[in-house]
Structure 1
Amino acid sequence: MTATDTDQYVYGIVRTGTPTPPVAGVDDEPVDVLTAGDLAVLVSPVVDAGEIGTPENLLAHSRVLDQVAAGDAVLPMAFGTVVPDADVLVEDILPRLHDDYLERLHRIEGATQFTVRARYVEDAVLAEVIWENPNIARLRESTVGTTEEESYNERIELGRSVSDAIGRKAEEDARALSERLTPLSRDLVIRERTSAEDVAEIVALVDRNAQADFERAVESLAAESAGRIIFRLLGPQAPYDFVGEV
């Protein structure tokens, strides 16, 4: 595809010759490529840039990038990136950043991203911390049969103690999970916990030839932790966490 005067929605940077994904893009528009030497950019036409930021379009953006990442290296652009002048993209931006983009593509060549989300079964982890911490058991017992007003201080201390205990347990479990997955990953990142029940959200850059082994390892972890930790595996995904800001 040659550059046009039409606004272009930009998904990501790839090597020239990368197959166009067989899925609809943002606003159900077909995905195509603009090429500049040995680099190319995945795009689709934009009718109304003001209507881009919908949940459906976010899913379409991710779907296009994940489809490409399943077989080829791609540098994902941020959701909502629109270029009003495609000539600038092809004739200025890609040539100017050519070496940087090629280096980043080389860094992720042959690999894709997986995200492992591990979350405690609430009743199970609560039972563990009560069993392991006599002070928590005592505080819990002291609130039984009382109103919130009568045992306000004890309830505050109980909540804080439980949260701290689960946090320590999550650190230990996250470390154990990462130790199991690190040998199967080219690179690995542990994101910050966002809720009390979170064990870990581990993002791994996995060689495609190790993908099956990685998936089996997550399945084994889930089986070993059944009833205690729930696992969710997402991927293959575009390598958002391993290419920096594009």
Structure 2
Amino acid sequence: MSVYVYAVVDAGHRTALDGLSGVGDPPAALRVVDGGGLRAVVSDAPDGLRPKRRDLQAHQRVQESLLRAGAVLPLRFGLVAPDDEAVRQALAERAPQYTERLHSVRDCAEYNLKVRQDEEPLLRGILESSAEARGLNQDIRDGRAGPDAPVRLGEIVAGEVLARQRALGAGIVEALRPFSRELRTGQPTGEDFLNVSLLVPGEHEETFLTTESSVADQMGEDFEFRLNGPLPPYSFV
């Protein structure tokens, strides 16, 4: 039977798996496979595995439990190997890379921060500060503008929005960067203008959280900060 792989840890990691179960219906029993001075947490892989809520949660619970006991390399959902021996060989062959990454994330957790700004105050601020946008908007309202004026106004506003949000995002990241070991920026979605993951050492965690809260308070009610963590270092494997 093929083998489902959850995470890689070092050989001395306390893999306390009591009370946990793996993916599948019924849930598969967890076990460890050792190789190359490392160990992988695995289970038998069910046939036709799909990213159902139950299985995604089981996958995440295993990784979060491992994180509480030490450094962990969380693997993506759905990673399957042919058998235990294939897992053992992969650990041995990739031991230098896995060991280096385990060292880099040791005593750290990932925090993901997403930020959005309410549209109305953003657009109002642009019209108040940009004489060109304000004048063009007034001409449109008074019926004095040409037919291409709405398109031109849209271009001006879009450029201002992008410039402002880039500057705001950079400022937020720079405020938090000193308390992180690494960071990864992701593509924002929806109304978010910032999506960043930070690898935060335990010794800086309290200061990081205090700083994030302070930045959110300073930016005011027009902004929504959504911080998720502590998480296994998904973005840093």
Normalised-by-shorter TM-score class: 0.7 to 0.9
**Structure 1 position 165, deviation (Å):** 0.7
Equivalent residue for 1:19? 15
For 1:38-57, what aligned pairs fall within 5 Å after superposition?
Answer: 38-48=37-47, 50-57=48-55
Q: Does 1:169 pair with 2:164?
A: yes
Alpha-carbon displacement from aligned partner over 1:160-199 (angstroms, at most 9, x marks no partner): 222211110111111211121111111223334445x433
Q: Does 1:240 pair with 2:234?
A: yes
SS in 1 for 2:41: strand
Point out the more displaced range, 93-102 or 52-61. 52-61
Percentage of identical aligned residues? 27
Given candidates 176, 183, 197, the residue that maps to 1:181 is: 176
Distance of aligned partners of 1:164 and 1:109 in 2 relative to their CA distance in 1, 3 Å threshold: same
Given candidates 1, 7, 10, the residue that maps to 2:2 is: 7
Q: Equivalents in 2 of 1:175, 1:76: separation in Å? A: 28
Q: Does 1:73 pair with 2:71?
A: yes
Conserved 8 A contact 2:14-2:69: no
Q: Equivalents in 1 of 2:69, 2:153: separation in Å? A: 50
Equivalent residue for 2:35? 36
Conserved 8 A contact 1:139-1:154: yes
Given candidates 70, 95, 109, the residue that maps to 2:92 is: 95
Q: Structure 1: state its 5+ residue gaps.
A: 1-5
Alpha-carbon displacement from aligned partner over 1:193-230 (angstroms, at most 9, x marks no partner): 445x4331221111012212211111111111222211
Conserved 8 A contact 1:69-1:236: no
Alpha-carbon displacement from aligned partner over 1:110-166 (angstroms, at most 9, x marks no partner): 1111111111112121111111112222333344488xxx98633322222222111
Alpha-carbon displacement from aligned partner over 1:48-99 (angstroms, at most 9, x marks no partner): 1x23333543343334323433442112222211112122212x11111122
Q: Does 1:130 pair with 2:127?
A: yes
Q: Equivalents in 2 of 1:179, 1:221: separation in Å? A: 11
Q: Equivalents in 2 of 1:192, 1:113: separation in Å? A: 17
SS in 1 for 2:148: helix
Q: Structure 2: state its 5+ residue gaps.
A: none
Conserved 8 A contact 1:139-1:158: yes
Conserved 8 A contact 1:20-1:32: no
RMSD over aligned CA atoms reads 2.5
Conserved 8 A contact 1:185-1:206: yes
**Structure 1 position 233, deviation (Å):** 0.5
Distance of aligned partners of 1:222 and 1:39 in 2 relative to their CA distance in 1, 3 Å threshold: same
Between the two proteins, the alignment pairs up a number of residues equal to 232
Given candidates 101, 106, 119, the residue that maps to 1:104 is: 101
